[in-house]
Amino acid sequence: MKINFEKCRNLSSKINQPSQMRRALLMSCAYLPALPLLAMLGGCSEGESESADASASTFGTMTETTTADEVTSTSSGLSIPLPPYKTTDTVQLPTQPTGPQPDTVPVTHIPQQVPPPAPANPTKMKVGIFNLEYNSFTQVSTRSVVKINIQGAYEITDPKDSKKTISFKDKEEYLKYAAYNKIAPAIMPKSVTVIDPVDQTKTIYEGIETYLARALDNRFALFYRAMVTAFTKHSPKEFDVSFFTAPEFYWNIPFGDFLNEPELQVSADIFLNTVTRNARALIAKFPANKYGNIVLLPGTVATLKPTADAAAADGTYAGGAKTIYEATNQLVCTHNLPLDDVKNPRPAYMIWPKRMVSAIDYIDEEHVWKCKSGNKLAPNPIDPKYSSTLLSCTLNASKDLTLLIKPVSSAVAESFDTDGKSLSKTFQNDIINGLPFGIDLCLDYFSASVQKDEHRMAQLDEHHFKLDFLISAGMYFDLNNYTATPFIQYVIQNEGYDESTGFTGAWKLTYSAKKESIPVQNEFIAASLGYVSQKPLTPLDARSRFDENGEIVVDETDSFVAPSDADSKGIPIVADRMNRGLVRIWSLDVDVSDTAKDTDTIIASRSTAAKTTPASDIQFVQ
């Protein structure tokens, strides 16, 4: 602080200049703490009505110390007493304890065992959950089939009513009908003809490769329609990041559509390659600068491939004369987050496989309930604690297509770059700064979950995650899975085996040392450090979990028109009848105080959602 009291200085104005008494007082105030001084004098305002703020001094810190004896008055004779203010005041000093001292005293605070207090204002991330509800367990069979009787007439099942048939006098009439009604004809290159040995009736099936291509296009188109339709209701930009999910088996056709093992074998690579390509093509339609940050968990595709790695308990091949199949049931995760982020490098896409094969996974849904157990197998090194037996599964009862399947899959997680090159044998579940997530695929949730199975946990980059996604077709939410995972805040399920449209839900988990501290209407499970409870959450725009106001219906008809600003180039039509699709949306407030790397910018990629100014438009000050 600079103070000028020279008598010869000419002031530009003498208005509100301090008096000599006030000057002396101010000079004394400059060397004293504000709070004791104001308490003593009632402020340095000489009776002015304005109150002074004693919370902080307006003067700089002095580098020299001044004792009470040195500053007790000014040249004007003003006396400023300092504590204890009067020489007659008695100073009370602490008394020294007398007698023997105890060897121990009670410990009331152990810093090492007390967790740090939670931030007063925890960092929250607003997360959008978009779930596509779809009955994926009982898919609609749309493989084109035509029967030719011994008279040469052609007959098909009515596409509008499966209980009726339509007859044609010859091949030409049948093909004209198929073309007019935009139905894929069964008669084409690579068609399969099956002759009934009893009456020589011919049945011609559409080629499996042609059928798979169209079926996968249908599911690709439906998922795209679900996204653009839901985004018109609630934009992903309402959230810091959004997840869009589909159920297990979403990309599959009914297993009863396969006629023989060669068809099944050729389908595996078609499924895996096409679904990966479709998942990447879908997210490319929704750039972050326009739609916000999105992560796709677009359901799974299940395949079967022959394997020689299936030993019995004695080390011999367990299949005998039959082929044993390795099950691969996987989810392809894609996202629109930046791939050139130096602080947070990301793969272009990742694969999360299912470990445990269920007895209802590979069956003829219409005629067979589940697979049968067979010969005992040696433990699978990928997860040796599970004893396993071969599963004998009937995929097509009418064609007697029955296979032997390993119950413990050897597939592992993997992350890839934009060229499809493998980056690691792990699933990088921390691609969102501060928001790691986990995935359980149906039976894994019960037998090999990422909450309890160390082998599954080892395939995640981040073991402590905030959100757990249960992607299933025949599984239920179970609070027992979360007794030792206080880091998980929400569970999201997309279930494909429930009536006509599947089921989706979201639950908030709460952990407490005492059961009584949690609302009594919720379910309780004893946890390792107390209790965990769950609370079902209500979708946006709904009054309850099942309120139809929370449903967004996906248009599967030819009349569907994408929003004018959406990128619909290359999106196929929905060419066949499909199960009904609905979307429900949830908004989650996730506490990321302990994981966010940058609390000012919740996620590292958020800047990609903002508009950037081209360098040519930036104006520089000369």
The Cα–Cα gap between 354 and 492 comes to 17
**Is 407 contained in some domain?**
no
* pLDDT interval class at 531 (50, 70, 90): confident
Radius of gyration of the CA atoms of the chain, in A: 37
385 domain-assigned: no
Model pLDDT for residues 368-384, shown as the tens digit of each residue: 999 999 889 998 888 88
Question: Are 72 and 82 within one domain?
Answer: yes
> Per-residue DSSP letters for 364-425?
-TTT----EEEEEEPPPTTSTT--EEEEEEEEETTTTEEEEE-SB-----EEE-TTS-EEES
Distance CA 472, CA 442 (A): 4
- The answer on 225 and 160 residing in a single domain is no
Residue 585, pLDDT score: 99
Claim to verify: residue 164 and residue 295 sit in the same structural domain: no
The residues, any chain, with a CB within 8 Å of residue 299's CB and separated by 6 or more, are 132, 134, 136, 245, 246, 247, 248, 249, 250, 251, 331, 471, 494, 496
* Whether 429 and 475 share a structural domain: yes
Of 581, 568, 603, nearest in space to 286 by CA: 568
Mean model confidence pLDDT for the chain: 82
- The HSE-up count of residue 456 (CA atoms within 13 Å, CB side) is 25
For residues 132 and 246, the answer to whether their CB atoms sit within 8 Å is: yes
pLDDT of residue 7: 42
Same domain (yes/no): 225, 189? no
Pair 13, 79 in one domain:
yes
pLDDT tens, position by position, 20-33: 655 555 555 555 55
621 pLDDT above the threshold of 90: no
Reported confidence tier of residue 104, pLDDT bands at 50, 70, 90: very low
Q: Are residues 60 and 178 in the same domain?
A: no
Q: CB neighbours (10 Å) of residue 462?
A: 19
Tokens of residue 518, six digits: 């949690």
Q: What is the pLDDT at residue 516?
A: 55
**Token duo for residue 16:** 């509100």
**CA 175 centroid distance within chain:** 47
Residues recorded for the chain:
622
Q: Which of 440, 436, 424 is nearest to 462 (CA)?
A: 436
pLDDT band at 114 (very low <50, low <70, confident <90, very high): very low
In the three-class reduction of DSSP (H, G, I as helix; E, B as strand; rest coil), residue 173 is classed as: helix
Note whether 132 and 192 are same-domain residues: no
Q: What is the pLDDT of residues 11-21, one digit of tens each?
A: 444 445 555 65
**Both tokens of residue 200?**
């020589």
Which residue range(s) make up the domain with 59?
1-86
| CA–CA gap between residue 164 and residue 257 (Å, rounded) | 20
Distance CA 207, CA 291 (A): 39
Q: Is residue 615 part of a domain?
A: no
Q: Is residue 529 part of a domain?
A: yes
**Beta-carbon neighbour count of residue 303 at 10 Å?**
22
Per the CB < 8 A criterion, the answer to whether 219 and 239 are in contact is: no
Per-residue pLDDT at 116: 47
Rounded Cα–Cα distance for residues 597 and 604 (Å): 8
Q: Are residues 235 and 345 in the same domain?
A: yes
Task: Examine the domain organization and report whether 27 and 132 are in the same domain.
Answer: no
**Do residues 231 and 287 both lie within one domain?**
yes
CA–CA gap between residue 428 and residue 177 (Å, rounded)? 51
546 vs 562: CA distance, rounded Å: 27
pLDDT reported for residue 106:
38
Q: Coil, strand or helix: which one is 480?
A: helix
Res. 61: pLDDT tops 80: no
* Residues 35-44: contacts with CB under 8 Å, at least 24 apart: 36/83, 40/81, 40/85
Checking if the pLDDT of 5 tops 60, the result is no
pLDDT digit string, tens, across residues 306-358: 999 888 888 899 998 999 999 999 999 999 999 998 888 999 999 999 999 99
Q: Are residues 221 and 75 in the same domain?
A: no
Task: Tell me whether residue 325 is in a domain.
Answer: no
Band (44; pLDDT cuts 50, 70, 90): very low
How many domains is the chain built from?
3
Q: What is the C-alpha separation between 368 and 404, in angstroms, rounded?
A: 15
